[in-house]
Amino acid sequence: MPETMLGNGIRYSGIHDPKFRSCLLTLQFYIPRDRLTAPVHALLPDLLTASSAAFPSVREMTLQLESLYAADFIAKTSLCGDAAVLEFTASWLDDAYALGGESVTAPMLELVTDALLRPNAENGAFCDPEFRICKQNLLDDIDCEQNDKRSYALRRAAELTFAGEPAAIPAHGTRPEAERITPEQAYQVWQEILRTAFIEIAAVTPQPRPEIAAYLKSRFAGIPRQPETVVFEAPSPLHTPVRTETECMPLGQTKLVLTYKYGKIRREVLLMLCSILGWIADSLLFTNLRERSGLCYYCLLSNAAFKHTLFIDIGIDAANLEAVQHAADAQIRALQTGGFTDDMMQKAVLRYGFQAAAASDTISDLAVQQILQLRRGDPRSGAEIAKAMQKVTRAEIAEAAKQLRADAVFVLRAEQEEAEPDAF
């Protein structure tokens, strides 16, 4: 899908699909991370979508969205390699379906750009009570993550695995830094983001709407831009020997997180490897650790692709800790020696093919697909990648698996396990 530059460091993609009756606009700001600004990055999406100079309260912003056929304006912060991504997404009814023939697109574009470029701020500081409420929401989110033991274990494992790298910083930052955020600091950080962030924009509409790109270009033209380069591909160096850390908590089930790092692997080969190891229904990890041996309650695999790191997180009884680690290592060795079936390879292709086919089912999926292609620097469609996966050989998967090296082990150990631990 064609993309164009709207200005210095602002890339725009226009996507059209007549099967939809609504429009979607997503703006992603790519920014480097550090411990002091991480909680501000987590605060800004909530703060900037709550109000603006034009609609200076949550109530006024909500009423305006409701008047536009219940339009939506949401935002979130996510991590991508060593960078953070502030993502703002608006969706609304296409003008062709407005009952009175009025434009919905024009006021939505104004609402979104006003929220970002004319926020609810005075004298260089965000206004209360919106700032105070959003800051409390952030503190509550940090506390909730501490109480979600699986999420907490994964976060601590990331800190151990990526020690000394920006990726080790928690998505919401830490509570002490979050408590110190001031309205002035948050406003200054946002102004710096507007000036220096690379901005990726995607719009999905039923029919071509060149006026969206033109309007956004005119609104951002007034900002003195000096965008900084953000490199997504940031492989994490391997730790030798393997780093191990144990933390005890009063919980019902021990959490174990194992991390493995790897070098450069072609995407289609990596997708086959991850699918066979942990993503398909009869994957090596699920079948051998949970179904056959009953060593764990759950066993999940995730891939931090830009960091070249796999995470295996497992819920276990503490008594099975050593046996589970040996069993997980055995599944890695099985991959390295071709110890998997042709049926598993076929299921890996079918799984990805199904996901690729479903990527055009919703308006948001189309935008995500386009942005991920640009972020990865891989122009291939999902169908093209699925076709490439069909050509991956057993030997290629085994050779790729030989790159996997154990890096860290984090154990969140139950101080006193319950008789019947919960699954998560």
**Prediction pTM value:** 0.92
Separation CA 420–CA 201 (nearest Å): 48
Q: What is the CATH number of the domain that holds 281?
A: 3.30.830.10
81: left (phi over 0), alpha (psi -120 to 50) or beta: left
Mark whether 141 and 271 lie in a shared domain. no
> pLDDT band at 424, cuts 50/70/90?
very low
Q: Are residues 206 and 123 in the same domain?
A: yes
Same domain, yes or no: 16 and 124:
yes
* Cα(260)–Cα(329) distance, integer angstroms: 10
408 and 269 in a single domain? The answer is yes
CB 183 within 8 A of CB 127: yes
* Residue 368 included in any domain: yes
pLDDT 10s digits, 91-149: 999 999 999 889 999 999 999 999 999 999 999 999 999 999 999 999 999 998 888 89
Q: What is the pLDDT of residue 162?
A: 97
Per-residue pLDDT at 344: 97
- In a shared domain, residues 261 and 214: no
- pLDDT tens string 234-261: 999 999 999 999 999 988 899 999 999 9
Q: Which of 185, 220, 255 finishes a domain?
A: 220
Q: Does residue 29 fall inside a structural domain?
A: yes
Confidence of residue 41 (pLDDT cuts 50, 70, 90): very high
Residue of 23, 5, 3 whose CA lies nearest to 216:
5
What number of other Cβ atoms are within 10 A of residue 345's Cβ?
20
Can you give the pLDDT at residue 416? 65
Which residues share a beta bridge with 414? 249
pLDDT given at position 231:
86
With bands split at pLDDT 50, 70 and 90, how would you rate the model's confidence at 423?
very low
Share of the chain above pLDDT 70, in %: 97
Residue 421, domain member (yes or no): no
Mean pLDDT (whole number) for 392-411? 97
What does the pLDDT average to over 190-196? Answer: 97
Structural domain total, the chain: 2
Looking at the domain assignment, is residue 310 inside a domain? yes
**Residue pair 284/334 in contact by the 8 Å Cβ criterion:** yes
pLDDT in tens, 338-376: 999 999 999 999 999 999 988 888 999 999 999 999 999
Positive or negative: CA dihedral 319, 291, 344, 373: negative
185 and 263 co-located in one domain: no
Alpha-carbon distance of 236 to 248, in angstroms, equals 27
42 lies in the same domain as 123: yes
Is residue 381's pLDDT more than 80?
yes
Segment holding 124, helix H or strand E: none
140 with 275, same domain: the answer is no
- pLDDT, residue 1, reads 53
Model confidence at 414: pLDDT above 90? no
CA pair distance 306, 375, nearest whole angstrom: 10
What is the distance between the alpha carbons of residues 365 and 327, in angstroms, rounded to a whole number? 37
Cα–Cα distance measured from residue 317 to residue 417, given in angstroms and rounded to the nearest whole number: 7
Average pLDDT over residues 382-395: 96
Q: What angle do CA 37, 153, 85 make, to 5 degrees?
A: 35
User: What integer best gives the mean pLDDT of the chain?
Assistant: 94
Boundary (domain end) residue, out of 220, 235, 255: 220
> Is 192 found in the same domain as 250?
no
Question: What is the reported pLDDT for 2?
Answer: 66
pLDDT band at 40 (very low <50, low <70, confident <90, very high): very high
What stretches of 118-182 show up as alpha helix (H) in DSSP? 130-147, 149-161, 175-179
End-of-domain residue from the set 170, 186, 220: 220
SS3 for 368?
A: helix
Q: Is the pLDDT of residue 422 over 80?
A: no
Do residues 261 and 207 both lie within one domain? no
Which range marks the domain in which residue 367 is found? 243-414
pLDDT at residue 306 greater than cutoff 90: yes
Same domain? For 111 and 151 the reply is yes
Q: What is the pLDDT of residues 328-344, one digit of tens each?
A: 999 999 999 999 999 99
185 and 253 in a common domain: no
Query: Is 234 domain-assigned?
Result: no
Pairing of strands 298-304, 309-316: antiparallel
37 domain-assigned:
yes
